[in-house]
Every structure is written in C-alpha cells, then in structure tokens.
C-alpha cells in the first residue's frame, strides 16, 4: 500500500488512490530509458464533475451517511475544502476527497499511462536497483512524490498526533477555580466531545487538602496494603472488604473509629489490572467525605458545572477513590449515560507517579480517536452522559509479576496512583430512575435509599439560593423553595 501512496517529505499526510486501475500507472520521466510522463495529478477544477461530487461528499455533516442534498448544494462555495484543513481532519474524511489525472499531451490507443513519481522516489529506486539482489534489505518501499506546490502550506511541518489544547495550556497555567472549559483539539479548536469532556478548575491546594484528609483517615494506608497485597488485604477479582479507620490511621477520634470504608477489587482477572475502589460504607463516612470535599473546595467544581449548563441545582450522589499500580488493559466505558445531559463524573488526582505517561484515555465524540491525558493537580476532568474513557495501560508495580525485579522497593516506596471521583447531577423526574439504576450498578451500593424522593433531600449546590453545602452534608431545600423539577 505504501508504494501507491502520494505524499510530501515534510507532511504526515499520505493520499492513497482507490479509483479502479489508478495504481497501475507506472513511473515515467527523469532517466527512465527515455520514457516521459504523459499525465500529472491536480486538484479538481471549479465546476468539474469531480469537484462537485467531492465538494458535496467532503462537507457532509454526518460521518456514517450522506445527506440527500446533492441537487441543491451551492457548488463552488467550499471548493476543495480539504486544502484548508489540518491533515488530521483530512484523514478523518478518508474517501471523501479526490484529485484528477490530467493528460499532458495526446495519448494514443495502446500508449502506457506514465506519471512522474518525483526525484526522491526516482533516486531511491535507482539506489535499490543498483544493489545486488542478495544485498537488498527487502522489498522496495517508497511513496510517490507529489508535484511542487501540490500540498498546501498548512499540510507541511505539522504533527499528525492528536493533542488536547487545554492540557498543553494547563500544564503551564492553572485554570481559574470554578471555570469549566470543554476539552478541544489543539489542531483545529473543535471539542473532543461537545457535551461530555470538560476540565474544571479547583481551588488552589484542593488536591493536597483532600489528600491530607485521606491520609488522616487511613485511606492512603489502605491503598498501600491493598495494592501490594499484604496479608489480610489481598482481595480476589470482584471481591470486596469493609475496613475500619481505627486499624489504618493513628490518632483517630472517637467518631473516626466508628467510620467504615469498603474496598472493591474491580474485574482484575477480566481486565488485567489491579484497580481498587474505596468508598464510604456507612453514613458517618459518607458525610465525612462530603464535608472534607467541601472543605477542600470541591464546591467550586459543581458550581462551575451547574452554572455552565444552566442547572437549577446539583447533588453529589456517589463518590469513590480509585487506586492502581499496574494495568495491562481496561474497558472503554461510560459511567454516566442517558440522564438528559444532567450528570457528571468529576475526577481529580491525589497521588500520581512523576515521569510517567498519560493516565486516562478519553474517546472522541465520533468514537474514532482515543487520546491520553495526564491528571493535573487542582484540575478535575468532568465526563458527562456517554463520556467514554478508560484507565490507560501502565506498570508502576505488579506484585504478581515475578519476572520483574523491583529490588528493595517496599512499603511506602511503592509507586501508586490514587484519584477521586464524584458523581454529581441535577436529579429530577426526567432522570431519577436512570440515576438510581446507575448507582445500583455500583457494587456494593449502600446508599440507594437517597433516591426515594424528588426533589432530592440533599442538595449540594443550589442556583436560586447560591448555596453550596458539601461542607454541611444533609442540607435540604426549604419548603418555601420552588420545586426545581
């Protein structure tokens, strides 16, 4: 296939003709035994049949089917539109652009059609042909060169790697607290997912404050024991256990000693990773987590999302820690779906491993592209309805892999990654049944009774009153407050 592709040495874009017999056109010209090219390639001229056909095809709004508007299309309004696009956008419209083969002189019946493949191809072929067959490294492989000026400047000296603009920006400049911005592609400024992939600014120090809380409650110590499979903490795949903070943390208060968390080792056999979820098991732990989130400044995130999308209120109905040290593969999935675009999984990091690659994969809206992103301190990723994502393959430490020598690494030196996620939504009559179904799908789900009544008995951000109440969990809308449904 490579031998039939057209390209420019300074561009990542390769064009492969798929028209019948087009790839039978051989090289002619230069010093090829006096043979000269009799055709060349060019972009379709305005008004030609090929220009009309591919102007219509390339500008379709839908990737899976064509609009039936050929007769009424304003031809010439976006002629050869691909020449204005970034190579990544052109690649995503494969099969919807074209060039013409144009005769350079009269071609008689029986004449072979010949095309000038360019200087680079010709020199490579001459070098290959001049070698003894036994001295050749393999088959000849070289793309066909395009004529000078054929590729526009915007196709040259650019990358074909997908990158998210906000991630590049946020690594150098923090996002303002409460500001929610869509993740957009660096090459064209278009959203990765118009409805479900956002970054939200947290208050400065939010990640560290919530990490400090998590260490005080013994959650981080629990992760170190779970992820290194210490005695009494080696859960089987899909197994879970309940743990008391008293055995995990020093100087716990009387109230802390009563709190319990559960840990769930999730599909580790099926998905080949050691992800463990840790979440509140009893009501005191649930309220304590929400209060700590509020104290850390997480209110700004739900307020930012609520204001961005015009919600009346938001309730955080589920939360959990997620910790991992190795992942061979995981499942591309969506935690939130079919909730009338009113629910979000909001995730931010507590502990990451320096010098490693991206940790989270996010799928684009057209489902053609998966992009890896780094977790960033004091920045949350908000994934809404059908926001597909997965844990990216990584290998910090694998206690089950005897082929790797980890040396003297042990205990607190084990590299682990821990992030925290909260499901938050405007819960009303349009989605309460679906949200309860989503929550019940979390195994276990100890707080399913929270969905008994609408309006929700617990509201964590309210537009009408301006109230943000994560730091005071249990807030209920006053009876005089208008029904938000």
* pLDDT tens by residue, 375-387: 999 999 999 999 9
Q: Is 358 helix (H, G, I), strand (E, B) or coil?
A: coil
pLDDT at residue 150 greater than cutoff 60: yes
Q: Which of 51-60, 94-103, 176-185 has the lowest mean pLDDT?
A: 51-60
**Rounded mean pLDDT, 260-265:** 94
273 DSSP assignment: B
For residue 54 the two structure tokens come to 């591919």
Helix (H, G, I), strand (E, B) or coil at 407: coil
Of the candidates 386, 439, 393, the one whose C-alpha atom is nearest the C-alpha of residue 417 is 393
Separation CA 438–CA 345 (nearest Å)? 12
List, for residues 384-434, the tens digit of each pLDDT value: 999 999 999 999 988 777 666 655 555 568 899 999 999 999 999 999 999
Per-residue DSSP letter, 193: S
Query: 156 to each of 80, 85, 116, 203, how far by Cα in Å?
Result: 17, 12, 21, 41
Whole-angstrom CA distances from 127 to 95, 284, 335 are: 34, 76, 56
C-alpha dist (Å) from residue 64 to 61, 86, 193, 220, 311 = 9, 21, 17, 47, 33
> Where does the pLDDT of residue 75 fall: very low under 50, low under 70, confident under 90, or very high at 90 and above?
confident
Q: Which two tokens stand for residue 152?
A: 């526009």
Task: Please compute the mean of the pLDDT values over residues 193-202 and round it to a whole number.
Answer: 89
Q: What is the pTM of this model?
A: 0.81
- State yes or no: pLDDT of 269 exceeds 60: yes
Torsion of CA 320, 325, 327, 332, to 10 degrees: 20
Do residues 227 and 325 touch, judged by C-beta distance below 8 A?
Answer: yes
CB 7 within 8 A of CB 15: yes
pLDDT value of residue 155: 97
pLDDT at residue number 346: 97
pLDDT at 437 over 60: yes
Of 65-69, 78-82, 350-354, the range with the highest mean pLDDT is 350-354
Residue 200: closest CA among 348, 417, 389, 360: 348
Distance CA 354, CA 346 (A): 22
- Nearest alpha carbon to residue 158 among 86, 57, 74: 86
Q: Which residue has the higher pLDDT, 186 or 338?
A: 338
Asked if 316 and 422 count as a contact pair (C-beta separation under 8 A), the reply is yes
With beta carbons less than 8 A apart as the criterion, state whether 467 and 476 touch. no
Question: Distance (Å, rounded) from C-alpha 385 to C-alpha 248?
Answer: 36
Secondary structure (3-state) at 56: helix
């Amino acid at each position: 296939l490579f031998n039939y592709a057209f390209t420019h040495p300074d561009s990542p874009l390769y064009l492969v003709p798929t028209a019948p017999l087009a790839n039978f056109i051989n090289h002619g010209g230069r010093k090829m035994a006096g043979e000269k090219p009799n055709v060349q390639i060019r972009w379709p001229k305005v008004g030609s049949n090929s220009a009309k056909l591919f102007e219509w095809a390339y500008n379709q709004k839908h990737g899976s089917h064509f609009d039936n508007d050929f007769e009424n299309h304003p031809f010439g309004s976006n002629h050869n539109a691909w020449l204005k696009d970034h190579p990544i956008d052109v690649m995503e419209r494969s099969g919807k652009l074209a060039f013409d083969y144009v005769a350079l002189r009269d071609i008689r019946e029986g004449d072979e059609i010949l095309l000038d493949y360019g200087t680079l191809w010709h020199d490579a072929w001459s070098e290959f042909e001049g070698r003894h067959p036994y001295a050749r490294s393999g088959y000849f492989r070289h793309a066909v060169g395009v004529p000078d000026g054929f590729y526009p400047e915007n196709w040259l000296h650019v990358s074909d790697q997908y990158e998210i603009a906000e991630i590049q920006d946020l690594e150098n400049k923090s996002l303002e607290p409460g500001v929610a911005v869509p993740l957009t592609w660096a090459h064209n400024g278009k959203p990765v997912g118009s409805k479900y992939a956002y970054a939200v600014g947290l208050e400065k120090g939010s990640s560290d404050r919530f990490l400090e809380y998590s260490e005080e409650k013994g959650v981080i110590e629990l992760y170190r024991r779970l992820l290194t499979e210490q005695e009494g903490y080696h859960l089987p795949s899909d197994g879970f256990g309940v743990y008391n903070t008293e055995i995990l943390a020093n100087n716990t208060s009387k109230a802390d000693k009563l709190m319990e968390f559960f840990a769930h080792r999730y599909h580790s056999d099926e998905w080949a990773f050691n992800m463990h979820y840790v979440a509140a098991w009893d009501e005191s732990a649930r309220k304590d987590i929400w209060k700590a989130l509020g104290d850390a400044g997480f209110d700004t995130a739900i307020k930012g999302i609520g204001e961005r999308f015009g919600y009346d209120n938001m309730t955080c109905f589920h939360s959990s820690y997620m910790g991992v040290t190795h992942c061979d593969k995981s499942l591309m999935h969506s935690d939130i779906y079919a909730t009338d675009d009113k629910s979000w999984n909001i995730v931010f990091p507590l502990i990451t491993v320096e010098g490693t690659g991206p940790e989270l994969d996010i799928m684009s809206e057209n489902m053609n592209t998966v992009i890896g992103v780094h977790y960033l301190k004091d920045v949350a990723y908000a994934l809404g309805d059908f926001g597909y994502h997965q844990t990216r393959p990584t290998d910090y430490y694998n206690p089950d892999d005897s082929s790797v020598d980890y040396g003297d690494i042990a205990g607190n030196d084990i590299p682990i990654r821990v992030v925290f996620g909260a499901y938050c939504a405007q819960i009303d009559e349009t989605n309460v049944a679906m949200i309860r179904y989503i929550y019940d799908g979390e195994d276990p789900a100890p707080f399913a009774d929270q969905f008994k009544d609408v309006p929700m008995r617990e509201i964590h951000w309210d537009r009408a009153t301006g109230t943000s109440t994560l730091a005071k969990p249990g807030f209920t809308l006053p009876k005089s407050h208008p029904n938000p449904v």
